[in-house]
Amino acid sequence: MKFIHIGVGGFGGNWVNVLKSNKDVDVVAMVDVNEASLQKACERTGYSKDICFKSLETALKNVKADAVVSSTPPAFHKHDVITAMKAGLHVISEKPMADSMESCRAMLKTAIETKRIYSVSQNYRYAAAMWTMADIVKSGKLGNIGQIKMDFFMGVNFGGGFRHDMPYPVIIDMSIHHFDLIRFVTGLDAVNVSGSAWNPPWSNYKGECSSTALFEMNNGARVLYNASWCAKGSFCDWNCNWQIECEKGTVTYTNGEIRVYQVPALYKVEKIEIISHTPPPLVAQNYILDEFMRCVKKGKRPNTDARDNIRSVAMVFATVKAMETGRKVDVLDKATMALLSK
């Protein structure tokens, strides 16, 4: 499959490696506004400078391609994705879909109208720990989910930059991973959210960097999500610490360790098991790329296509609105629901 890769610097360098290492991929163009990023990508891969362009429009005029990978910042995804799909190409973009719900809806609308496949790279799904957690929960052995607590506590100093200046930095920049994992692990969708955010006196972030959100899911379960990038210790890993309570027991994830507590009647724990991780067949972006190419060939939707992923990114924007207003907010607004009904 022939690919155009947009945004080859920074995190895009990871996609440079993923595309280069896949024997079924032919990168026919690389696009970046930064000449140094293009040069570095060529040096790493052995690609010719002849396939380097400063804009997607120029690349589309000079090469024939089947698909685009966009690893540009979220604010540029709308342009990349819509331009590519209107040109007849399928698309993978990095998460989040975009920097506003309006942009996300425009991208989904274009995908529906052009009948192109648009997949969002939610790489946290495709690692051994969360893959195993999802298998346990979705097996149904512990019964229906009733309540979940998730804690994301880390002390992270990025040394300045946009994260230290943005409002609600952990929610806007990080929580899309965790909110998408909630949906992946449980198989449930969020209905509404309430929340609050604040900034401890020692924080070196300008925006509120500590927060709590309460989601009501479509089976009536509640998910309590606590998150901070300015915690003073007792750190978790990037997946959060989880406690998923079901009718017949509980699954916990704490810094890499998965435990299953079997509690078939009321509150007496009858058995505790530590569960080994079972990895997916491919990991992270490699899984996403492989699934994407298979779906393009078969005319199917990837797990994280735009129609699905808009439900995850909507959780982010709804949480921010709930924190700004102090009110409970519906996760999906009427305009998004109307699109999803098509």
CATH number at residue 143: 3.30.360.10
> pLDDT of 229-287, one tens digit each?
999 999 999 999 999 999 999 999 999 999 999 999 999 999 999 999 999 999 999 99
Task: Give the phi and the psi of residue 214 in degrees, each rounded to 5.
Answer: -120, 115
Give CA torsion, residues 126, 130, 131, 134, to 10 deg: -130
Q: What is the pLDDT of residue 332?
A: 97
CATH number for the domain spanning 16: value is 3.40.50.720
Q: What is the pLDDT of residue 334?
A: 95
Mean pLDDT estimate for the chain:
96
Task: Give the phi and the psi of residue 167 in degrees, each rounded to 5.
Answer: -75, 145
**What pLDDT band is residue 144 in, cutting at 50, 70 and 90?**
very high
What's the CA gap between 324 and 196, in Å, rounded? Answer: 8
**In the predicted model, is pLDDT for residue 342 greater than 90?**
no
Report the share of the chain in percent with pLDDT over 70.
100
- Domain stop point among 116, 134, 162: 116
> pLDDT of 284-327, one tens digit each?
999 999 999 999 999 999 999 999 999 999 999 999 999 999 99
DSSP states of 180-228: HHHHHHH---EEEEEEEEE--TT---SS--EEEEEEEETTS-EEEEEEE
**What pLDDT band is residue 94 in, cutting at 50, 70 and 90?**
very high
Q: How many domains does the chain have?
A: 2
What's the CA gap between 301 and 2, in Å, rounded? Answer: 19
Q: What is the pLDDT of residue 162?
A: 85
Q: What is the pLDDT of residue 148?
A: 98
pTM for the predicted model, two decimal places: 0.95
Asked whether residue 244 falls in the same domain as residue 141, the answer is yes
Asked whether residue 135 falls in the same domain as residue 257, the answer is yes
Residue 182: inside a domain: yes
Relative to beta strand 241-246, strand 222-228 is unpaired
Q: What is the pLDDT of residue 296?
A: 97
**In the predicted model, is pLDDT for residue 137 greater than 90?**
yes
Asked whether residue 111 falls in the same domain as residue 129, the answer is no
Relative to beta strand 118-121, strand 90-94 is parallel
Domain hosting 104: range is 2-116
**What pLDDT band is residue 54 in, cutting at 50, 70 and 90?**
very high
Residue 63: inside a domain: yes
222-245 b/e with 16+ CB inside 10 Å = b?
A: ebebbbbbbbeeeebeebbbbbbb
